[in-house]
């Protein structure tokens, strides 16, 4: 047992969810599990579609200042993800510096756990020499498909030899996806 008056070391985990509900919920569920095992949780989040702090009163929620307009995910998804990562990189650095400055001498950030689409977090974790963990919400089948696509591209099978992207896109436009 701890001696009275002796402060217990509190290890903090910083969570960085992508601002879609299907990404926020799994991140907060992971945070709940970690919190129940003694970790302090800080959630650094985009102001766009931000999580509700009242659902996790023991967590610290830190919004990233929005440096530009919210990305339009209905138009060009990949470009919007890149824009979001570019927009939040500097404010995330400032946010982490603030979190670290408020730590006591016995406190520390154990790691940064970020959504795979919030890759700016990993860059900053490396700069601060902090471990980072990627949380992906995709299924095992999705992971396998992406791994296979990377391998096929590396072997020169994608794009398909002898086909043009225009011919392929005209075929895809008439298709129905489920």
Return phi, psi of residue 64, to 5°: -80, 125
The residue from 66, 107, 115, 157 that is catalytic is: 115
Tell me whether residue 45 is exposed, middle or buried, using C-beta atoms within 10 angstroms of its C-beta: 0 to 12, 13 to 18, 19 or more. Answer: buried
Q: Please check whether residue 64 is in contact with residue 88, taking contact to mean a CB–CB distance below 8 angstroms.
A: yes
Residue 99 tokens, joined: 């979190």
DSSP one-letter code for 138: S
Residue 164 bridge partners (DSSP): none
Residue 94 tokens, joined: 């400032």
- 23 is annotated as an active-site residue: yes
- 35 is annotated as an active-site residue: no
What is the set of active-site residues? Answer: 23, 115
């Amino acid at each position: 047992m701890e001696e009275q008056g002796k402060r217990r070391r509190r290890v903090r985990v910083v969570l960085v969810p992508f601002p879609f509900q299907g990404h926020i919920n799994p991140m907060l569920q992971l945070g709940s599990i970690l919190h129940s095992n003694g970790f302090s949780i800080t959630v650094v989040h985009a102001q766009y579609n931000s999580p509700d702090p009242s659902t996790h009163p023991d967590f610290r929620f830190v919004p990233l200042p929005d440096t530009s307009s919210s990305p339009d995910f209905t138009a060009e998804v990949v470009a919007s993800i890149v824009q979001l990562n570019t927009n939040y990189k500097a404010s995330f650095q400032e946010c982490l510096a603030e979190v670290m400055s408020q730590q006591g001498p016995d406190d520390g950030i154990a790691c940064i756990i970020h959504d795979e689409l919030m890759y700016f977090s990993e860059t900053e974790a490396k700069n601060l020499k902090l471990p980072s963990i990627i949380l992906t919400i995709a299924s095992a089948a999705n992971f396998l498909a992406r791994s296979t696509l990377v391998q096929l591209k590396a072997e020169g099978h994608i794009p398909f030899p002898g086909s043009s992207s225009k011919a392929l896109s005209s075929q895809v436009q008439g298709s129905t996806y489920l």
